[in-house]
Amino acid sequence: MTNRNLFEKEVKERAPLQEFKEPNPLPEEIAAQYPTIDLVSIDLSQYEEGNSGLEKRKALAKQLETALSTSGFFHLSNVGLAPEVFNRVRSIGQLLMSIPDEEKVQYLAGALTSDEEDRSKSLGGERGSGFKPKKYWSNNNVRDSIEHYNFRDFLHDDIFLSDEGVLKHPKAVRGYLRDISDYFNYLHYEIVRKICNLSDIILEIPEGTLWNNYMRVIDNDPFHSGGGFGRLMRYYNPSPEDEVKTNQSWLRGHSDGSFITVLTSNPILSLQIRDYETGEWKFVTHKPDSLVVNVGDGFEFLSGGYFKSSIHRVHSPVEEQKGETRFQIIYFVDPDRSLVIDPETINSPKLNRLGYHKPKEWEKITFDQWNDNKGRLFGKNAVNNVKGDEPVVVKLFGRLHERWHQVDNAQPPAIAEHERLYGPPTSINV
Ligand SMILES: O=C(O)CCC(=O)C(=O)O
Ligand SMILES: [Fe+2]
């Protein structure tokens, strides 16, 4: 057991939290005037453990299969987290974002801008522990207005709450690290585990396979443990000129490099998913106290492309909500990093029957190779500083680094529109 004296001391000295004021959700009839996507909604209170719960789990797995194989996104309700739990984490985020800039720069996740980053040494602002300041990325020569803070290793108390682990974070939040780890541990053990088990049912592999093999937590071994990182993210309002230049895109269209991603449902209508078939951008609607979960690249590859790591972005809020504060809590869930991410790993009767095999052009790679190499491209000027939402298309290990591939599978009008705007897909050496 690690000595946690420093942590205990910080708990005693912590300042009280200020309540985070969530913006009001948009009335349904107004939200309905915007293009929205009707996501599958899964009621997690229907999940029952054990043999007697199998029929219920099979029913949920059926709904989940529709979600994973179409948009790759779903709402998850009755997740067992009270509104106060979400609010407490948001309040901690608010506290973090309010510390002076001079202090923030001592706790950076990487460099001050993405272009200065040496990613052979650093995970960068996207994946490293600490602050990603505003103006880190660029889009059509406009710098971003997003600030976020990443936490890593919260599934490993002996690392997270050790003196060294505590000192990684600004003084203001050190006494609140247990709240952070409680939240993300709950998501890992109660949400991710259940999604893994339901996915086993879909894939017709023994229940427990995904969880036990790739998501379990091994003490003091983050590399071979499931986990990833948690993010507290605050969007600020860009200037009107910047809004024009970026076409109101606050966070460029991308697919997540994770296995799955767990977001909080947000009252601000801003998150958009790009329709897999038509390319149309559609808003994700809000369900209070619920989660929004999406497939990341890792799960798409493991399923041979049956599950979809969809392109999504954050758009400037709709007219009725302009000026409101968007705050987001995210868990980017990574598997054991040595997992070989193609369907041969799991040999799923379902995928075999449907014909989802490893495409020849895919090199045999681990999740670590994917995550690391995709991570190196994030925010790179050569790839991202382009007009419009789509980055320059890069191939990594025979796979498009952002999963815009649905453009290739889409109906001819979408392909024509894509090529008209951006030309044919290109490849650059990395
Ligand atoms: O803010 C959101 O809702 C989504 C953010 C996101 O897609 C990301 O950070 O990868
Ligand atoms: Fe994302």
Give distance in angstroms: CA of 312 to centre of ligand 2: 6
Rounded-to-integer distance, Cα 360 and Cα 226, Å: 28
Beta strands in 241-345 (DSSP E): 249-254, 260-264, 271-274, 281-284, 291-295, 312-315, 326-334
| Residues near ion ligand 2 (Cβ under 5 Å) | 256
428 lies in some domain: no
pLDDT tens across 48-74, in order? 999 999 999 999 999 999 999 999 999
Q: pLDDT band at residue 407, thresholds of 50, 70 and 90?
A: low
- Find the distance separating the first CA and the last CA of the chain, reported in whole Å: 43
Tell me the pLDDT of the chain averaged across its residues.
91
Give distance in angstroms: CA of 313 to centre of ligand 1: 7
Helix axes 177-186, 5-13, angle to 10 degrees: 110
266 lies in some domain: yes
- Is residue 61 within 6 Å of ligand 1 at its C-beta? no
pLDDT tens across 184-212, in order? 999 999 999 999 999 999 999 999 999 99
- Which residues share a beta bridge with 231? 150, 330
- Residue nearest ligand 1's atom 7 by CA: 313
150 lies in some domain: yes
What one-character DSSP code corresponds to residue 279? -
Range of the domain at 289: 5-422
pLDDT tens across 369-401, in order? 999 888 887 767 777 766 677 767 778 888 888
Find out whether 65 and 30 touch, Cβ atoms under 8 Å. no
| ipTM entry | 0.98
Q: In this prediction, what percent of the chain has a pLDDT beyond 70?
A: 92
Rounded-to-integer distance, Cα 418 and Cα 6, Å: 55
Rounded-to-integer distance, Cα 268 and Cα 325, Å: 8
Taking residues 336-358, report their average pLDDT.
97
| Count of domains for the chain | 1
- Is residue 119 within 6 Å of ligand 1 at its C-beta? no
Which atom from ligand 1 is nearest to the alpha carbon of 312? 7
Q: What pLDDT shows up at residue 416?
A: 58
Among 12-21, 270-279, 410-419, the least confident range:
410-419
Residue 106 has pLDDT above 70, yes or no: yes
190 lies in some domain: yes
pLDDT tens across 118-157, in order? 877 888 899 999 999 999 988 778 899 999 999 999 999 9
Which atom from ligand 1 is nearest to the alpha carbon of 271? 3
Radius of gyration from C-alpha coordinates of the chain:
21
Which atom from ligand 1 is nearest to the alpha carbon of 328? 1
Find out whether 228 and 334 touch, Cβ atoms under 8 Å. yes
CATH of residue 164: 2.60.120.330
- Residue nearest ligand 1's atom 3 by CA: 271
Q: What is the pTM of this model?
A: 0.94
What is the per-residue DSSP string for 2-50?
---HHHHHHHHHPPPPPPP-PPPPPPHHHHTTS-EE--EEEEGGG---S
Residue 420 has pLDDT above 80, yes or no: no
Residue 217 has pLDDT above 70, yes or no: yes
Tell the residue number behind the tokens 């040494």, with chain if given: 121
143 lies in some domain: yes
Question: How many other CB atoms are found less than 10 A from the CB of residue 341?
Answer: 28
Give distance in angstroms: CA of 1 to centre of ligand 2: 36
429 lies in some domain: no
- Is residue 111 within 6 Å of ligand 1 at its C-beta? no
Q: What pLDDT shows up at residue 224?
A: 96
Residue 429 has pLDDT above 50, yes or no: no
116 lies in some domain: yes
- Is residue 174 within 6 Å of ligand 1 at its C-beta? no
Q: pLDDT band at residue 430, thresholds of 50, 70 and 90?
A: very low
Q: What pLDDT shows up at residue 140?
A: 77
206 lies in some domain: yes
- Is residue 232 within 6 Å of ligand 1 at its C-beta? no
Q: What pLDDT shows up at residue 419?
A: 61
Residue 410 has pLDDT above 50, yes or no: no
Give distance in angstroms: CA of 54 to centre of ligand 2: 32
